[in-house]
Amino acid sequence: MAEDKKKAGPLDGAVMTAEGLSFKGVIMNPVVESCTGCERIVELESVSYCPSYAKPAQKWIRGICNFATHVKGTLDKQGKAKVNPLKASKRAARGR
């Protein structure tokens, strides 16, 4: 009986329409070149899609996609993590 139950995939129930791939009423756009290597990519009918976000190109406009599994965070030029300037000024005022 356990073999009869099939694990649902991330885009199960998606339908190819004239506009593109439709999933739960949303038209999914194919992934962009920046997404290559991400573990989330699902291939349907020889086209790759991101199940996490419908328009992957917009996630890369302002920098790194927050869903990307193949990109690591970067440090600033001095090799330190970026600190919120408001928090830093409050810490300096308290003497920490």
Q: Strand 26-28 relative to strand 42-44: parallel, antiparallel, unpaired?
A: unpaired
Per residue in 56-89, pLDDT (tens digit) is 888 888 888 888 888 876 665 666 666 788 988 8
Closest to 53 (Cα-Cα) out of 89, 96, 11, 90: 11
Check whether 2 has a pLDDT greater than 60: no
Check whether 6 has a pLDDT greater than 80: no
Neighbours of 61 (CB within 10 A): 8
Q: Which amino acid is at 90?
A: K
- State how far the Cα of 37 lies from the Cα of 39, in Å rounded to an integer: 6
Q: Are 55 and 26 in contact (CB under 8 A)?
A: no
Q: Residue ranges per domain, the chain?
A: 7-64
Closest to 10 (Cα-Cα) out of 46, 39, 33, 34: 39
Who wins on pLDDT, 30 or 14? 30
Q: Is 42 helix (H, G, I), strand (E, B) or coil?
A: strand
Per residue in 37-61, pLDDT (tens digit) is 888 888 888 888 888 888 888 888 8
pTM: 0.63
